[in-house]
Amino acid sequence: MKRLRSEFQVVFLATLVTSFVAMYAASEYFNVARFSQLFSFQAWDGPGPMPTEAYPNPVGVHFFGDFLLTFRTAAHESPYFAAGYFKFAYLPFSAVVISPLFFLPIWFAFLVFLVLGIGAISYGLWIGLSNIDPPERLVLMLTMCLSGPFLSMLDRGNFSLWLSAFCVIAAGLLTRQRSGVAPFFFGLAAAMKLYPILFMLIFVRRRDYRGLAVGVATFATTTALPLFFYSGGFMRNFSELISQFLSSADTSHAMRIRAYNNSFYSLLGTIRLWNVPFVNEIAAFVQQQYFGLLIAISILILFVTLRRNSAEWQTALAVCSFICAAPQVSAAYVYLLFLVPLGMMLNQDGVRDKVDHKHMRIALWLIAILLVPKGIPLWLPSSEWTPAAGTYAGLVNPSICLFLILQAAWASLFTRRVPSRNQHDISIKE
């Protein structure tokens, strides 16, 4: 496994250097991108969907916008009825998480949010990589600080930091055989923005239905309880929660921000830009039947989950790939969740057979490429940079996610069931 970890580092660093050189050249010499595309919020960005006075300084300040918008909206008596503010597309526990920071100035609150979040995710990685010597473990953790999802999350101050931290801690606890506590943290992550609830399939794969119940109960309780205390009462807030959460899936918005969108839906839209006969018609049809595509992929993931021949890391990887690319709008920071299956894979002290070893090597290489920032317009150097430009990130990242799901399904058919020395690969009944 040490060799696989070294290969992962080499592929990641080689791709990272290549990507930075390409972004610099595209920005400075071809004028078809901007090197600062690494950071989607610019100093000259004007006020967004909030009153001007809600901003620390309307012009010339990097806002760390996702934190600022959520912080201001969540401070209302109900974040779902904050007139003049953006729709609160989070579940109420996201507001609960930052509620202790409401008493602090905005910049100090952001600093606390950032330091505690990075500390939590570092703790999760540290315990999740317990089979690795501390120096190598530290190098792997520092590598993640150069990843595209981490830089994007930092730039926007997005709540994926805390959501991912809960998931990484849960995965780390699983590797420590503390499956009784792990579902609690998955439940907290799901209570922030719903989709991490799919990680509960790990407990289905383990036949650990008690853990599944704990996770679902944690999610339901932490989602429902705050609604009783918001202005307007439970039912009114619950109805608005559903409305605002569903309205965040806007197909036209998905195309307008294609340069920042790493979803299957955006991938299909990018393919249609090529205007290749027959291929264009297929991509258009799949886009129109997008929900059907997601159902088909979900069936594949259930197949991986329920097959006893699949490894736990394969289930986690397939689920994570679906979470990151299935919504119609999926930003780079969401891909921070790949730290969950990545930690499980890197921490392995053995694999079951040569087939499993081969699939893990391919998966690690692909994740290394996926984590590298690559916001360069396609058709370089002839493309114009716009928020709707098709980028290599929008093409490569969802393509890798789809391949990883298909690979997990294929591997579950051809990997022999041989007991592993690493116990988190064995179901709880064994």
| Mean pLDDT to the nearest integer, 91-108 | 90
pLDDT surpassing 80 at residue 317: yes
Residue 143 vs residue 384, higher pLDDT: 143
Mean confidence (pLDDT) of the chain: 83
pLDDT over 60 (residue 47): no
- Pick the last residue of a domain from 187, 220, 248: 248
Total domains in the chain come to 2
Residues 214, 304: one domain? no
Whether pTM > 0.75 for this model: the answer is yes
pLDDT by residue (tens digit) across 8-23?
A: 889 999 999 998 888 8
User: Cβ of 84: how many Cβ atoms within 10 Å?
Assistant: 9
- How confident is the model at residue 273, as a pLDDT? 81
**pLDDT category, 242, cuts 50, 70, 90?**
confident
Is the pLDDT at 323 greater than 90? The verdict is: yes
Within 10 angstroms of residue 180's Cβ, the number of other Cβ atoms is 12
Domain that holds residue 110: 62-248
Q: How far apart are CA 110 and CA 71, in angstroms?
A: 9
| Residue 154, in any domain of the structure | yes
**pLDDT above 90 coverage of the chain, percent:** 30
Which pLDDT belongs to residue 157?
Answer: 85
Q: What percent of the chain has pLDDT over 70?
A: 87
Distance of alpha carbon 151 from the chain centroid: 13
How many residues does this entry show for the chain?
Answer: 430
Mean pLDDT of 403-427: 65
Per-residue DSSP letters for 133-185? -HHHHHHHHHHHTTSHHHHHHHHHT-THHHHHHHHHHHHHHHHTT-TTTHHHH
Can you give the pLDDT at residue 232? 83
Is the model's pLDDT at 423 over the cut of 50? no
pLDDT at 347 over 50: yes
* 43 inside domain: no
212 and 266 in a single domain? The answer is no
Give the bridge partners for 391, in sequence order: 377
What's residue 206's pLDDT?
87
Asked if the model's pLDDT at residue 59 lies above 80, the reply is no
**What type of residue is 364?**
L
Say if residue 370's pLDDT is above 90: yes
Based on the domain organization, do 235 and 307 belong to the same domain? no
Q: Residue 342: inside a domain, yes or no? A: yes
Asked if residue 124 belongs to a domain, the reply is yes
